[in-house]
Structure 1
């Protein structure tokens, strides 16, 4: 029996293009044993995903991907296997989401100054059940003929340090790790390579996260080279952290990234999840 998994995926509850139900159906087609739904700063898709997982006989790992800030840089922490229905967790999450909304309003105002026909209301109408991210803003501009591609939207306007970029109000990695642990979950440093840090700076961050009781590094990831994966595995071993991994699937918002297999280079065995839980 195939026992491959994917512990990093997104749905229409944030900036993916498949509903949670469609995502679980695709997971069945891909013969995955388990997947984690890790939408950005929201658990809104998990209830639907739970029902779809039962229907498709796939194990669903409750998940979330938190955006946080460390020394002015964006750091993402994935939470896995936590009690997402906990009232205290949802109360804190609502505060994080308010911060994201304020940021979106500021970025939309900058896009309007650039001459784009976009408003918070129109974006919300286009993505009515989503926690909107920069990817949603980019998708809106593309779908409405304002700009040719999502890549150009990020390169020119919405990417880090581009002209319409607005940094997040600071939530620290330590805060997100603590919140995940309060609900019995597993905290994973998502795609460390994408931080583009020098190795000494990356190790400084990992050491700090380790002091905050980080559980794992994302050792397996769609865009990693073989060298990247080897480096992340060595860091996990050096700092006595477990390994996690996933595709970071977003549907057509990242068309080259496929569920379970990434760019064709991913094969994450179920034993990775068992190790995370042990």
Structure 2
């Protein structure tokens, strides 16, 4: 069976593999297609596409993952097949980048006020060229001895609803969907199971995003159980959404998740890509 992975990260955001290393690894393990979907940035795509040109049997799909907020909760939207070279798209993306920087500066102040001095400039200096995410905060907290692990950093300080967490402001899933569509891409609701919503709240989320132009949902994901996958496929069928899937590979930042298989059981068949291509036509 030909397999794909449509949700991955590189060092351009919070992964540990460079874009070219990621593509080489995808080829080594025999994937037929891979999407690079870094957080709120397209800076790694040119390198990934160029590396992919070396492997005729591997399709490299240009993508992005937007971090948005809905009702105080993080909701992520993946865009596949985006026109990342379009100047209008790049300009509109800047507002998302500005929002992330503002959030990160506020989190630095909260951590400093809590007795763990961290500056935004430190984060940028330690991660040149990367979009700063909470994973970078976690690594710096660990490096400075404020925590004993990145997991502790999230559990105690920077995870959702923790004392030093600051949500993104004014960036909604609908805004991400609109931007992805304007950039010629396919908007996909990322890992909905991870949001911890009940059945009714999940249904309402998907319904509202479908109305805004959502095309697909990650019904296959690196950490899903078999029941999670069945539930998400049922929602996809209810709202006539395409199925997408991916590991959410981050390299060493999520060592329990491997490319192409997640925690071990994930399989995303190539027909998922074929159906997305049919929709694009």
TM-score by length of 2: 0.96
Deviations 1:155-187 (A, max 9, x none): 100001101001111211111111111122111
What's the counterpart of residue 24 of structure 1? Answer: 23
What's the counterpart of residue 218 of structure 1? Answer: 218
Q: Tell whether the 8 Å contact from 2:108 to 2:117 is kept in structure 1 after alignment.
A: no
Q: Tell whether the 8 Å contact from 2:40 to 2:93 is kept in structure 1 after alignment.
A: yes
Unaligned stretches of 5+ residues in structure 2: none
Does 1:126 pair with 2:126? yes
Instruction: State how 1:1-278 maps to structure 2 within 5 Å.
Output: 3-57=2-56, 58-278=58-278
Give the C-alpha shift of residue 52 in structure 1.
1.1
Q: Tell whether the 8 Å contact from 1:24 to 1:56 is kept in structure 2 after alignment.
A: no
Q: Following the alignment from structure 1 to structure 2, what is the Cα–Cα distance between the partners of residues 183 and 110?
A: 35
Q: Following the alignment from structure 1 to structure 2, what is the Cα–Cα distance between the partners of residues 168 and 194?
A: 18
Q: Tell whether the 8 Å contact from 1:83 to 1:185 is kept in structure 2 after alignment.
A: yes
Q: Following the alignment from structure 2 to structure 1, what is the Cα–Cα distance between the partners of residues 255 and 185?
A: 30
Q: Following the alignment from structure 1 to structure 2, what is the Cα–Cα distance between the partners of residues 143 and 17?
A: 16
Q: Following the alignment from structure 2 to structure 1, what is the Cα–Cα distance between the partners of residues 119 and 69?
A: 26
Q: Following the alignment from structure 1 to structure 2, what is the Cα–Cα distance between the partners of residues 17 and 73?
A: 26
Report the 3-state secondary structure (helix = DSSP H, G, I; strand = E; otherwise coil) of the residue aligned with 1:68: strand
Report the 3-state secondary structure (helix = DSSP H, G, I; strand = E; otherwise coil) of the residue aligned with 2:140: helix
Unaligned stretches of 5+ residues in structure 1: none
Deviations 1:111-160 (A, max 9, x none): 11222242111111110010001111111222333311111000100001
Structural RMSD (CA): 1.1
TM-score by length of 1: 0.97
Give the C-alpha shift of residue 188 in structure 1.
0.3
Residue range with higher mean Cα deviation, 182-191 or 111-120 = 111-120
Q: Tell whether the 8 Å contact from 1:50 to 1:60 is kept in structure 2 after alignment.
A: yes
Report the 3-state secondary structure (helix = DSSP H, G, I; strand = E; otherwise coil) of the residue aligned with 1:261: coil
Report the 3-state secondary structure (helix = DSSP H, G, I; strand = E; otherwise coil) of the residue aligned with 1:67: strand
Deviations 1:28-67 (A, max 9, x none): 1111111000000000100111111112442110000001
How many pairs are equivalent?
277
